[in-house]
Amino acid sequence: MSRRVQVPSLLGDAGIRRTGTPERRFLFAVPPLTGHVNPVAAVAAELARRGHKIAWTGHPAFLQPLLRPGSRVFSAGGDAFGTHLLTVRGEHLRLRGGAALRFLWEEFIVPLGHAMMPGVETAIDRFRPDVVVSDQLVLAAPVAARRREIPWATSATTSAEFTRPLAGMPKVEEWVRERIGDFQLDHGIDDLLDLRFSDHLVLIFSTGALVGDISFFPDHFAFVGPALGRPTPRAFPWERLDGRPAVLVSLGTINGPSGERFFRVAAEAVRGLDIQAIFVAPPGLLEDPPPNVLVREHVPQLKLLERLSAVVCHGGHNTVCETLSHGLPLVVAPIRNDQPVIARQVEAAGAGVAVRFTRVRPGDLRSALTTVLADGPHRRAAGRIRDSFAAAGGAAEAADRLEKLA
């Protein structure tokens, strides 16, 4: 039976320790999700450039292709959880709403925390970090850091939690906090915190220009803007871009195979428009795409954004922020998890239009796309957010904050 506990949320200020030591050690704990690694990889690279020591803890087979060659990785999670993840992934892709949230916590976040705990503790004991940087989905790292009295920072690779998306469902919000509290109790901590929000430092890779009012957050909540990493070198037929407005249509690294209907709708929506559309989709998903549609399984997204006029996506935080970092408007078709929250942020900021993923029709998507392609309010709003992101500092500001914490 679940133990009912009260976990406080959005904690107040905590003291920040300063040091004049030039070299410090930072351990990054991340889940096996690409979108949760890329932003902190840019921060880690900046810290390494400044002469600090960096190590990672997570699933090595997943992590190593995403990190710089020679990165030090401590295994955490084991093969058993990797097998579990492959087993449950397909089921999660079929879920929406409350069912997806429950599944996320019961089948992914909490089991991942238990599976990673021994490896994270070993990584801390062997690497002896001055600061542990934990993704919001990795419960093990804050618990291990607290048990060893090491400062820890939260890496919030999505800003969804900072709008309290469950505020209208207090029982669901309480249920999530109970899962977090139970996890701490299982590992010997009675002084319960909300492990999604460090009481030392929270790095949020967005700004108030997208999130909304952030004036009430304490000083240790740092809205640093997106931390854009190195462009991924991938082959791309650049000669196919002939000067017409170009649009990217992508459902991210997880949702692509589940988006067959959406890609078909999108193909009909752009058919006949005087644009070029680049669809990031699995091979063979569209058997007969329109002449103005280029289908690629992978694209060099950061480099490609420099040549685009708009983006149609699922509302993944990284894709949205990368798009807005280039001042481009969006059409957002959220699917699950934090994506509806991010879609609402985009609309409220005036930088795009949201459509319904499962029910959108070609005419609806065409109307939304032609609206944001026009040189008007959406493009101007995207430009304002781009400027806010640039001013926030990104990876350099995040590294500054971490150095002060160490």
pLDDT level of residue 56 (50, 70, 90 thresholds): very high
pLDDT level of residue 183 (50, 70, 90 thresholds): very high
The verdict on residue 212 lying in a domain is no
The verdict on residue 6 lying in a domain is no
Q: How many domains does the chain have?
A: 2
- Give the rounded distance of the alpha carbon of 171 from its chain centre: 26
Q: Which of 152, 181, 204 is the last residue of a domain?
A: 204
Model pLDDT for residues 283-320, shown as the tens digit of each residue: 888 888 999 999 999 999 999 999 999 999 999 999 99
The verdict on residue 58 lying in a domain is yes
Q: What is the pLDDT of residue 99?
A: 80
The verdict on residue 81 lying in a domain is yes
The verdict on residue 353 lying in a domain is yes
Q: What is the pLDDT of residue 33?
A: 86
- Residue 313: beta bridge partners? 250, 332
Same-domain pairing of 255 and 114: no
The rounded percent of the chain whose pLDDT value lies above 90 is 73
Question: Tokens for 278?
Answer: 């680049």
Q: What is the DSSP string of 377-391?
A: HHHHHHHHHHHHHHH
Same-domain pairing of 319 and 384: yes
Q: Which of 182, 204, 226 is the last residue of a domain?
A: 204
Model pLDDT for residues 61-74, shown as the tens digit of each residue: 889 888 988 999 99
Q: What is the pLDDT of residue 61?
A: 87
Q: What is the pLDDT of residue 284?
A: 84
Same-domain pairing of 274 and 385: yes
Same-domain pairing of 275 and 156: no
| CA–CA gap between residue 142 and residue 199 (Å, rounded) | 10
The verdict on residue 232 lying in a domain is no
Same-domain pairing of 43 and 180: yes
Same-domain pairing of 103 and 161: yes
Same-domain pairing of 174 and 262: no
Residue 405 clears pLDDT 90, i.e. is over it:
yes
Running DSSP on this structure, what letter comes out for residue 133? E
Same-domain pairing of 103 and 60: yes
Same-domain pairing of 52 and 169: yes
Q: What is the pLDDT of residue 18?
A: 40
Which CATH number goes with the domain that contains 265? 3.40.50.2000
The verdict on residue 16 lying in a domain is no
The verdict on residue 372 lying in a domain is yes
Query: What is the chain's mean pLDDT, rounded?
Result: 89
Same-domain pairing of 65 and 123: yes
Same-domain pairing of 250 and 189: no
Q: 274 lies in which domain range?
A: 238-390
Q: Which of 157, 178, 204 is the last residue of a domain?
A: 204
Q: Give the long-range contacts of residues 326-330, CB within 8 A, separation 24 or more.
A: 326/386, 327/379, 327/382, 327/383, 327/385, 327/386, 328/379, 328/382, 329/372, 329/373, 329/378, 329/379, 329/381, 329/382, 330/372, 330/382
Residue 133 clears pLDDT 50, i.e. is over it:
yes
Model pLDDT for residues 371-393, shown as the tens digit of each residue: 999 989 999 999 999 999 999 99
Q: What is the pLDDT of residue 163?
A: 87
Average pLDDT (92-119) is 84
Q: What is the pLDDT of residue 62?
A: 87
Q: What is the pLDDT of residue 168?
A: 78
Same-domain pairing of 196 and 335: no
